[in-house]
Amino acid sequence: MTRLLAMLYKEVLQMKRDPITLIIMFMLPLVQLLLFGFAIHTDIKHQSTAVFDQSLTQESRDLLASFTNSEYFDINYVAHTFQEANTLVDGGRAKVAIIIPPDLASNVKHGHSTPIQVIVDASDSTSSSTAISAAQAIGQLKSQELMLKHNPRITDTDLNLYDIRIRAWYNRDAVTVYYMLPGIMGIILTMTMVMITSMSIVRERERGTLEQLMVTPLKTWELMVGKVIPYIFVGYVQTTVSILVGIGIFALPMRGSIFLLYGLTTLFIIASLTLGLVISTISKTQMQAMQMSFLVFMPSVLLSGFIFPREAMPAFFYYLSALLPMTYYIDILRGIILKGNTLLILYSQAAALLIFIIITFLIAVKKFTRMMN
């Protein structure tokens, strides 16, 4: 116990001697969350729109009004030829072009359908899909409105034989920030925790201090635990900053128990730290450790379900992602913050993290012993 305390004493002192790293670690969640939260919106509103209105009638103005009222389209350009509308989209000044045919008014009067052409710049898939679905919805709504006006005998229910009402649970308004922020919290923890511990033992080896440590009665596990514990608290600070920014600035809901969140976050932090220890015992230089951390970091971003749903992955990557602690933590974060899940639902994720910790810790101890020999 004295030895472990000495180890903690030393690690904490060294942490304090390097205040810049410490400040960066605390600022990181703040900066990252603000960046991601404000800059990344996958439900893109107010897309620059060009209009080539060949009808110029009450009906066409009415239709365009419903486009602008949806807030998805801002009519910034009025084109006078089809070519002009095309050029606006080609040049990227407009993301969407709406072409209204000359016979719109007469068609509407006679109850004929009229093709309205909507050109969408699909080089950016997220913004284009939002535009497409918004345009379709507007078309449908408008048509129903007109049919009702022309034929008062038709009731609302006749129009919708299948009345599908979609309710988006947990994130009713499909706010991207809600979906992204919990993931970013996990990404920040992965990045800092894995990297910090991956450097720790290699650094001692590079400086020659490890040799001196190993001739003392200090046990391998004491060394490792001593390296891990101080950073658990750094992880807590990061998590707290993230949660405060999430709730305070982005109005993130906290539907589950905050204690459970911290409890399971502890597991994730330890899992990341022990993974870092493994990296530290197999790399020869700090540079190598850094590169290996990135090797863990990239799949954590891409495969964990943070960006792409795991269900859509090829089998190989699906199972590969099951080896990453981040995969489970994403479930935990979204589960507790957005769905209000309890441990009853999240126990398998918790168990997976626990197993991960035990295995990586054993590997680290074993690799370390072999390295010293």
* Site residues for another protein per CB under 8 A: 2-3, 5-7, 9-10, 13-14, 17-18, 207-209, 211-218, 372-373
- Residue 121 Cβ vs another protein, minimum distance, rounded to whole Å: 55
CA–CA separation, 186 and 182 (whole Å)? 7
- Residue 286 Cβ vs another protein, minimum distance, rounded to whole Å: 15
Enumerate the β-bridge partners of residue 78: 51
- Residue 204 Cβ vs another protein, minimum distance, rounded to whole Å: 9
In the 8-state DSSP scheme, what is residue 250?
Answer: H
- Residue 3 Cβ vs another protein, minimum distance, rounded to whole Å: 5
3-class DSSP state of 117 = strand
3-class DSSP state of 330 = helix
Residue whose CB is less far from another protein, 141 or 372: 372
Angle of helix 176-207 relative to helix 325-334, nearest 10 degrees, comes to 140
CA–CA separation, 308 and 16 (whole Å)? 38
- Residue 273 Cβ vs another protein, minimum distance, rounded to whole Å: 21
Residue whose CB is less far from another protein, 115 or 208: 208
CA–CA separation, 24 and 191 (whole Å)? 12
Residue whose CB is less far from another protein, 17 or 149: 17
Residue whose CB is less far from another protein, 25 or 50: 25
Residue whose CB is less far from another protein, 132 or 218: 218
CA 148 to chain centre: 43
User: Phi/psi zone of residue 174: left (φ > 0), alpha (ψ -120 to 50 degrees), beta?
Assistant: left
Q: Where does the chain show beta strands of DSSP type E?
A: 47-53, 73-78, 96-100, 117-120
Residue whose CB is less far from another protein, 11 or 124: 11
- Residue 218 Cβ vs another protein, minimum distance, rounded to whole Å: 5
